[in-house]
Structure 1
């Protein structure tokens, strides 16, 4: 443990929390933590999970699931199309229109508090080092970036109008056992073609281990001070992509391949499009290469100072947990 302080343990007994995207990697982790703190947790996702009180539904069509919001004290909105590999019309429908409709449903149900998941991608791919929440967001033609910027505007407008008390979190690159930042790279590394990194892996990766992220989210969700605020949440470090993904390559006996960005971006777009058309899901796209070629990291001074956030799990500790999990799953050699 790197932080030397205890995890946040607010009393959530008697609190009912509703999570969108409740079956996802982050949604499940948030639900577990909130239940440990005494909350009743339920949610919505595309596939029902009655064991965890998750109903089936499309967030853009709340009439099918909105009754499940009744009595909720907090909505945690994680549902989104992640990454740059989706058509703009699809990403806008889920990430922007979907956010608007979840907000409307929460307001109609009388939910007093809303936490929206945005992303550090809202800063674009070019920004000052240690960028903080006072820096303006930037659309750049990347589908994920632009729809996250737009979704933030929807949430802030609802808060400003007094419709609901909202907060926004901008997670860094959330990782841990089972995450997309572990599963996908290892799968690619195990192929002869290897995992692609632009410009020798010199781009900056801003990790946030799942347990650390849930710590930060818990503070944001339960604090009165966080109303109307935006918070970056990372592990407080910025590492070269070659270092982060090098850990995964070593544990998996996998391969990382690098190309100049001027070749990596168009090639990723071309190969990704071909794979998706042939029924092979992949995150390969120019936007993904842009994300892996950022030249700076993000400040977490605001959430540290205002809410007392302190990352607890180091990158080495996290990688040890990832390796144990990956071996157990048969994803890497035992």
Structure 2
């Protein structure tokens, strides 16, 4: 008898989940992925019986939930796990990605209620970082998706050591007065975006105060074109990172000021729906100054050994 009990303990046990009534899916809309969670064991279905659009059985079990991830929002010749997309043109163009989590059982009889969680994420085809004027070097951008959730991306303005843009400098960036005229290398980068989104630098300027609206300003880039002879734009609106350089300088006739701020107006553009790259500068007539209407990233620069009456970048 004892032997029989031991053998029973060694036999595999067919575990079944506890059925839950699950009338909803929790959807997180990120710029490069969509995550959908449903309560575990919906109506008695095991995770291996559920799929994205009947195509991908890639769900994972997290505590209390079954999770399905759409990891590619840039389908070319095929849709990712049955994901479909729809473009809505108009004054404020949008695009929608949608899919469904469905049940599938190959047995002859099915005794569980069918599952079909259809969900979608709506994104603006072009959106500005315009929730506020960011008086900071790093900004987290939230793009609202109505009742279906939000996604966020982190934009950062960094100073690099050279034109290879591999190593960042400490902030605030300090320039010795003897180095006035040396090149300053700037890159603005978005984290967490899929390749369809491009970072566009529209305008950059310097002020002697942290306020981007200060009337005392020196323009470096206007309408994505160089407005200062020392400015070289390496890349803009081609990728998730845009880069340029300019020659350091100083403001005159400002007493007891040793800090200056660089401000850049930034847009994020959907390159699969819109033309993100600006037209050639040679074909346009640029204004001497423009007012910023997008999100502004700001970096602080300090002068080492500055005297009164001078401020430099």
Same fold (TM over 0.5): no
Q: Name the structure, 1 or 2, with higher relative contact order (CA <8 Å, separation 6+).
A: 1
User: Radius of gyration: which is bigger?
Assistant: 2
**TM superposition score normalised by structure 2:** 0.25
Which structure features the higher share of helix residues? 1
TM-score where L is the length of structure 1:
0.24
